Chains A and B, each alone.
Chain A
Amino acid sequence: MKTKNGLTKIVIAGEGGQGVQAVAEILAEAAYEEGRQALYIPNFGVEQRGGVSVAFLQIGDRSIGAPKFETADIVVALSGRALLRTRQYVGPQTTLIYDDLAEVKDEEMPRQAAQILSIPAVETSKKELHPRVFNVMILGAVIAATGVVTLDDAKKALEIRLGHKFEQDPKLRELNYRALERGVELLEQVMRGGKEHSGALRAYH
């Protein structure tokens, strides 16, 4: 997914502690390692915990202009509050991905989106994996949605960031890789589902 300038703009938002900043950082790191241009900026305020955490990320082939933007290509919202906070970045070209446990009122859903996808990320990470790798699953989903970096490069970036922990416990590497791949699967499933149900899907229960 690229805009006409070959630039992909991503917003990832969640509750403090869900690890959205780490997702954006790893993606930026992976793109940078591929020799592409990347610009990542977190929102930061006076609150250290609690509240919604938002990451802005741009990946492209030319040097990147302003650090923030009006409309994203992908918005990932991992809670109801995160969606309310980030729906301003959803335009007619935007793919919105949100967690299906996020409580969002029907009238609050940004219907202008090109595509709205809900994935059972929180639930899957709890049931199948471990809540600690929830954000790595999200990383997988974003990669599947955007193709901004390859899965291999994401693994390399994970290695750079968590290599020292993987050394101590090789099972951790396996868990992270599985989470990454599961995230890809979740998104691919819902995208396939999307075509069958034509357009906005599973968005409003």
Chain B
Amino acid sequence: MAGVPVPGDKRVFMTGNEVVAYAAVAARADIMYGYPITPQNEVMHYWTRLAPKYEKRFLQTEDELSAGFTTIGGVMAGRKAFTATAGPGNVLMQEPMAMAEMMRLPVVVVIMQRGGPSTATVIYSQQEVILTTFGGNGEGFRIVYSTATHQELYDYTIKAFNTAWRYRFPVFLLADGYQAKMREPLTIYDPLERGIELIAPEAYLGRPGTPGVDRPPGHFRNTYSTEEELYEVLQGHVREYERIWREVEEYESLGTEDTDLLIIAHGVVARAAKQAVEYLRGEGLKVGYFRPVTLRPMPVDALREAVSRTKRFMVVESAYGQLSKLVRDALYGLAVEMVPLYKPGVGVTPEEIMARSRELIVKGES
């Protein structure tokens, strides 16, 4: 098969949507299915521009339901398939993704969060956290990476395909409109040249041999007749998800040992949080930073450890308490005060985080 757009390492200055398209080619994805919605449109545009040069395919479907189900079809045919969507499109995408969860299908979905509820804005938010981690009628057996920089968008797009095909759970790359549309420098590379193994896809359907004679028959079901049968299958999913939890979870932290205030944020907001924490620490304040990279599974042990070493923690997000729900669930039983900094649908600056932190620390000392 054809190679990658750029052999060797190359420093580039791109929008996030462009980064995802290049990374998908570098990950040797075979096909993208999609339906246009802002702010992810350019993932499709750049993919369709690159695809013919690298023997890759694209199918535009009639809506996101169809985009999700055709991605499932691609995966069952043994192709590395992915889709990208946002906002109301992400809502529709949950129906096929619940099926992928039920059938343990390694689909990859890129989400560029926009404002909600409903059409709201096409711009930016972190309001699709609960939807992306626990959307659908199911238990959230999925892996969600929340990226913060363009370098991570590139690295984690490549990783998403590997994680999906290694563990056979749907994998989401959760970014946002800011990351989609902004330009910043990053290094793109061929993962194979760096010695990163790319897990090969496998067909679910149409494998050679006679089912039941040469090989076990494939039962790929999303329908069960009895409660007990479903329960047994789900117990298998639970065991497998819990087994891989610690292998998959990822986080980033800074100065979390013995703090007066711990700031918890994810995605692009984590950039502002980290900047604020570095600044405040420079002033001699005992402030730490914790960022879950996987929102599902949540890095529970590390988070509990960091929180147990602080006097209080602040959850900062461009939503009204979605990350906070996941965090509080992970922290059950710990008696540490939580302070919210919620800005649903708008960006958060380092300045506001610093201002709120200073207030809290002064209050805490009095």
Contacts and interface: CB of A to CB of B under 8 A. Distances in A.
Size range of the chain B interface in the assembly = 20 to 34
Contacts of B178: 41, 67-68
Given A38-B13, A68-B349, A46 B184 contact: no
B13 A65 contact: no
Interface stretch (A25-33, A99-107, A167-175): A25-33
A25 B181 CA distance: 12
A128 interface: no
A28 B272 contact: no
Nearest to B279: A5
B253 interface: no
B123 A65 contact: no
A32 B13 contact: yes
A16 interface: no
Contacts of B122: 44-46
B347 interface: yes
A28 B275 CA distance: 21
A65 B349 CA distance: 9
A97 to B, nearest CB: 22
Interface in A9-51: 25, 28-29, 32, 37-46
B352 A65 contact: no
Nearest to A66: B272
Contacts of B149: 63
Contacts of A71: 351
B272 to A, nearest CB: 4
Contacts of B184: 37-40, 64
Given A25-B183, A38-B13, A66-B271, A44 B351 contact: no
A63 B148 CA distance: 12
A204 interface: no
Contacts of B185: 32, 37-38
Contact of A65 (B39, B177, B274): B274
A68 B121 contact: no
Interface string B275-287: 1000000000000
Given A37-B185, A38-B185, A65 B271 contact: yes
A70 interface: yes
Nearest to B347: A68
Nearest to B184: A39
Contacts of A70: 349, 351-352
B348 interface: yes
A22 to B, nearest CB: 13
Contacts of A67: 178, 182, 268, 271, 347
Interface of A: 25, 28-29, 32, 37-46, 63-71
13 contacts: A25-B183, A28-B13, A32-B13, A37-B184, A40-B184, A44-B181, A45-B122, A66-B269, A66-B347, A67-B268, A68-B347, A70-B351, A70-B352
Interface of B: 13, 38-39, 121-123, 149, 177-178, 181-185, 268-269, 271-272, 274-275, 347-352
